[in-house]
Structure 1
Amino acid sequence: MYSTKSRNEHVEDKSPQSSPTPQILKDSREIKEIALSKTEERTPKKKKLQIPCPPQGTLNKVITDGIILILVWSVAWSFLGSEVLPGGNLFGLLVIFYCSLLGGKLLEIIKIPSVPQLPPLLGMLLGGFTIRNIPFISQHVKINSVWSSSLRNAALTVILIRAGLGLDPKVLKELKKVCVRLSIGPCLIEACSAAFFSHLIMKFPWQWAFLLGFTLGAVSPAVVVPSMLFLQEHGYGVKKGIPTLLVAASSIDDIVAITGFNACMGIVFSSGDLLTTLLNSLWEVILGVLLGVVLGMFLQYFPNRDQTKLEWKRSFLILGLCITAVLGSHRVGLHGAGGLCTLLLTFVAGLKWSKEKVRVQKIIAGTWNIFQPLLFGLVGAEVPVSSLRANAIGICVATVSLALLVRICATFFLMSFAGFSLKEKIFIALSWMPKATVQAVLGPLALETARISAPHLEEYSENVMTTAFLAILITAPNGALIIGLLGPKILTHSDPRLYKSSIDMRLAH
């Protein structure tokens, strides 16, 4: 018994020590696991491409927007039938709108390092131009000239509304001398120089030459304003108010060009003598001013401030009254009255709106986001490649370039004795060259009028249209690049918070 028990105890004592190998393996396994975990922490894990179900983010947005597009087309087809099928007006408008929108988005996506962003309107213009010049698509994308003209005039109305609301009486009073010189002088000088060069090079009659001159004379707020706001936010040129000056002057510059164009249109397509035409133009100006002041004073008090959704009601009234004024004036033959009425109406109405004016401007800016692709897409679709003859392109480019050179020199001279340094005057002169919005509206107007009332003048109007198209292609991207590249290098940098003005605060919205 003793021997057996002692033997068993001896065995039990030795059993834990008899097999050390599993413990060693276990310890080594733990060490390996720790080492592997540290190695995994050091080496970055490769992310697996996983598509969430249901889709999220950008993919979800793309699918949603596509379904909305299909539903818009389906609802329109339910109401209008063949109008939304290939060959119908609404089908053509939808195709041009979405292609222009896509062209603008693509240009926003394309970003070149150390190069300023190109304006999206260039992509919109090329989108419409592409649709027109692809043989299979162009056969099915057709838009009635009346629809096209009405939409472009509506876009012009939105431009004039934004110009009228953008005018600030306080800023105009502070910068009245410089602002008047910058907004009126270069526009008139370029219009006269373009008329001279087109008469000399393109063999235009004088009345058509001046019509072309005022088409080219306007600067584009769609290019100038965003570029100036960017410089202002970063404090370039704000000490002397250069961004504010250019933003305020761009609206008045457009007003001068549109008024001169309407006067020349009346002269070109009038059947009476010159004196009768001038008197009719004067009557249109007086009627537009009176109607604009009266309607503007009406909108100062209606709707009253105690009403709900005040800014929406004011925006609707402004859009309704101004579009009626512009399109209605064309209906009754008073082409120049509607534009002046719109400008005076919006300017007078905004005098009593104080801070609420910002909200109205924001709503009108949202409306412009719809009309802008339509405007530039329709303009691009008006220019077939067959009409761009090599000799015509060279002549048009020469006319635009010479008139632009005169404008730059005139702007530099007019900014002398205004307290600007040499570099600042060079920057202002070069910044005052981009053309886009007004040219997109005015360029096709003469062509449409000639097709309806004077087919024998269609050749001149086609040249005006081609010149406006080329002016946009040349000056819009180059102007944006020049402003973006030269601004930070030439203008003096300051703290932008010290030089804020009311117009800057509004345009920032």
Structure 2
Amino acid sequence: METIPPGGDTEEMIPSKWNRFSQLTSNYSKPFQTKYHRRPDRSESFRLRLKYAFLCPPHGELARWLSYIISLAALWLVCLAISPQQALPGSNVFSLIVLYTAAALAGKLVTFLRLPSMIGMFLVGVLVRNVPHINIAQHILPNWSSCLRNFALTILLLRTGFKIISLRGGSSNIFYRLHLLPFAVELFTSACMYRFITKLPWAWSISLGSIISSASPSIILTLLLQIKNLPHTNSFQSQIAAALIVNNIFAAVIVAITWSTENNAANIILKLLEPFGEILVGVIVGILLCYIPPEDFVHNLFFRCVFLVGSSALVLFTLSAVHQTFVGHLAVLVLSYVAAWGWKRGLKNNQMLLHKLDTILSTFWLFCQTLLFGLMGCDVNLSVINARILGFVFACLLTGLLVRLVISYVVMIRTQITKRERVYCSLALLPKAESQVLAAYILQNALDLGDETLQPYGYIVLKMTVLAILLTAPFGATLLHLAGRYLLKTPTESSDESNIALVTRRKSSEDSVESLNGDDGTSEAEQQFMDISL
């Protein structure tokens, strides 16, 4: 029997039941805790790495996915408590949550193939819309889908404006070469092909050519934002972003002029001046954001972020509602550029402020991109496609893209852009995705006119646009992703490669000299001469 010394504490000598229980549970839980196990390397077996991934507490990739799942479950439960009719299975909110989860999983799986995650998200949307007995896409309300896509595109355009502020804008010569000539050549080529192959009238052919010639801001700007560590003197990123927005505006203006009910000179001039009105709106709102809220305002960063996102969404939604087409992109891009330029010039600690705002926008974009590309895939309806239309679209699309690639490369020969960047700029405007909005606009106008001879033309335009999106969006995104990896060498990578090559040449030269001089090696003077020469 254990004796207690005089003056001793009975609680210290005799463990309580709780202490014995905690010690027992600690001993039994050691095999399941990460702090008692060594983190396995990538070179070790898959079984060890999988075992370590499921140890407690949750960590790594598993913890991140658990956080996403719990967040989505909490959001669904809140919506279920507020409005059960909108959150039950088969409703709008439930379908959006299922689409988001499936698109996020597909985007993660596609990255294992070294492809951009947007490919998996887009293909999940296409499958959800077109696989029989899956009615998720049909349950998503069109106005919800449009609002969510526009909000996600707002975040993307804001990030692009912040990215452009750190780059040199480039010359106006490059502007006209990259923006106007390739778009005009592709538009003319596509319109002629559609006129003589599909027998569409000239107005329909020009409208279809302008729709097919416009590119996807969502896909291209997302890939541009993933390009990192390039020199700040590089201007091709800002040129591509500006060319993308300008080309889409030209396409919208051409369609608006072609299908306007008042084809007089005043209406045409008004349509041509609309882009300048967008620039003016973006400049005015951007200047207001430079001074509101003031620099000494309490919670300055929070209110600047709220005003930036809120005003951009308001501008985009308002202009889109007025014009019925996607023509608010330029205003949001100019707005973010002017606001970032004003903060960079007029505020103290401006770099820290811009970095924090870009971090917040990056967090928003992490969630918005999944919905954006998933909903874009849901808009692709494969039931309108047949083999005859597929052959026409493939021939016309391939001809127009080849002509554009050649013209885009040739017009930038005598510029400061390198050969690799010329190739990337030529490929940059390949993916098509948002152009289906204009095709639906044309079809709706044909249906509103009530002329039965025009309605088949409207359905042909819609079918060709859907096929162009399906053929160019996944392939173009994959091609741009691979081209950015292999064509755009960063300064760090090029210097590392040159250093490795120099060390390799030095080592091979030393080995050859040692083999010629025998085992004794070279003298000290000869070694110094060889080092200097290398």
CA contact (8 A) 1:285 1:336 kept: no
Query: Which structure carries more relative contact order (alpha carbon 8 Å, separation 6+)?
Result: 1
CA contact (8 A) 1:129 1:383 kept: yes
In terms of mean alpha carbon deviation, does 84-93 or 191-200 score higher? 191-200
Residue deviations 1:125-164, cap 9 Å, x none? Answer: 1010111122222267522222222223333333433343
The residue that corresponds to 1:477 in the other structure is 478
The residue that corresponds to 1:94 in the other structure is 97
Deviation at 1:258, TM superposition (A): 2.1
The Cα RMSD (Å) is 3.5
The residue that corresponds to 1:454 in the other structure is 447
The residue that corresponds to 1:463 in the other structure is 464
| Separation in 2, partners of 1:140, 1:326 | 25
2:481 alignment partner AA: A
Deviation at 1:122, TM superposition (A): 0.9
Deviation at 1:301, TM superposition (A): 0.7
Indicate yes or no: 2:186 matched with 1:199.
no
CA contact (8 A) 1:430 1:482 kept: yes
Deviation at 1:119, TM superposition (A): 1.5
TM-score normalized with structure 2 length = 0.71
CA contact (8 A) 2:161 2:333 kept: yes
The residue that corresponds to 2:157 in the other structure is 160
Poorly superposed stretches of 4+, deviation over 6 Å: 44-48
In terms of mean alpha carbon deviation, does 466-475 or 199-208 score higher? 199-208
Specify which of 403, 407, 412 is matched with residue 409 of structure 2: 412
CA contact (8 A) 1:265 1:446 kept: no
Deviation at 1:433, TM superposition (A): 1.6
The residue that corresponds to 2:24 in the other structure is none
Indicate yes or no: 2:247 matched with 1:257.
yes
CA contact (8 A) 1:396 1:470 kept: no
1:294 alignment partner AA: I
Specify which of 71, 78, 82 is matched with residue 81 of structure 2: 78
Residues 161-180 of structure 1: pairs in structure 2 closer than 5 A: 161-168=158-165, 171-172=168-169, 175-178=171-174, 180=176
Deviation at 1:415, TM superposition (A): 1.7
| Separation in 2, partners of 1:91, 1:268 | 40
Gaps of 5+ in 2: 1-43, 345-350, 449-454, 498-534
Residues 128-147 of structure 1: pairs in structure 2 closer than 5 A: 128-138=125-135, 141-147=138-144
Deviation at 1:182, TM superposition (A): 2.9
| Separation in 1, partners of 2:479, 2:388 | 23
CA contact (8 A) 2:287 2:342 kept: no
In terms of mean alpha carbon deviation, does 134-143 or 250-259 score higher? 134-143
Residues 113-124 of structure 1: pairs in structure 2 closer than 5 A: 117-124=114-121
Indicate yes or no: 2:215 matched with 1:225.
no
Instruction: Give the 3-state SS of the residue equivalent to 1:271 in structure 2.
Output: coil
CA contact (8 A) 1:450 1:461 kept: yes
| Separation in 2, partners of 1:469, 1:397 | 11
Residue deviations 1:33-70, cap 9 Å, x none? Answer: xxxxxxxxxxx999695854665554444444333322
Alpha carbons of structure 1 residues 228 and 403: separation in structure 2 relative to 1, 3 Å: farther
Deviation at 1:316, TM superposition (A): 1.8
Instruction: Give the 3-state SS of the residue equivalent to 2:427 in structure 1.
Output: coil
The residue that corresponds to 2:434 in the other structure is 441
| Separation in 2, partners of 1:322, 1:337 | 13
CA contact (8 A) 1:107 1:118 kept: yes
CA contact (8 A) 1:227 1:483 kept: no
CA contact (8 A) 2:106 2:124 kept: yes
CA contact (8 A) 2:156 2:222 kept: no
Instruction: Give the 3-state SS of the residue equivalent to 2:494 in structure 1.
Output: coil
The residue that corresponds to 1:393 in the other structure is 390
Alpha carbons of structure 1 residues 227 and 399: separation in structure 2 relative to 1, 3 Å: farther
Residues 42-441 of structure 1: pairs in structure 2 closer than 5 A: 49=51, 52=55, 57-108=60-111, 110-111=112-113, 117-138=114-135, 141-168=138-165, 171-172=168-169, 175-178=171-174, 180-215=176-211, 216-218=213-215, 220-222=219-221, 224-225=223-224, 228-229=227-228, 232=230, 244-282=234-272, 284-333=274-323, 338-354=328-344, 355=351, 356-418=353-415, 424-425=418-419, 428-435=422-429, 439-441=432-434
CA contact (8 A) 2:435 2:465 kept: no
Residue deviations 1:261-288, cap 9 Å, x none? Answer: 2212323442222535413314533433
| Separation in 2, partners of 1:67, 1:430 | 40
Alpha carbons of structure 1 residues 64 and 319: separation in structure 2 relative to 1, 3 Å: closer
| Separation in 2, partners of 1:317, 1:132 | 36
1:440 alignment partner AA: A
CA contact (8 A) 2:119 2:478 kept: yes
Residue deviations 1:355-375, cap 9 Å, x none? Answer: 233333332333233332222
Gaps of 5+ in 1: 1-43, 112-116, 233-237, 497-509
CA contact (8 A) 1:158 1:364 kept: yes
Larger radius of gyration: 1
The residue that corresponds to 1:114 in the other structure is none
Identity of matched residues, %: 25
1:433 alignment partner AA: L
Alpha carbons of structure 1 residues 334 and 391: separation in structure 2 relative to 1, 3 Å: closer
CA contact (8 A) 2:160 2:225 kept: no
In terms of mean alpha carbon deviation, does 206-215 or 126-135 score higher? 206-215
TM-score normalized with structure 1 length = 0.74
Alpha carbons of structure 1 residues 312 and 469: separation in structure 2 relative to 1, 3 Å: farther
Alpha carbons of structure 1 residues 261 and 162: separation in structure 2 relative to 1, 3 Å: farther
Count of equivalent residues: 432
CA contact (8 A) 2:240 2:425 kept: no
| Separation in 2, partners of 1:206, 1:452 | 17
1:90 alignment partner AA: V
CA contact (8 A) 2:91 2:139 kept: yes
Residue deviations 1:410-442, cap 9 Å, x none? Answer: 12211222256xxx43652355324577x3333
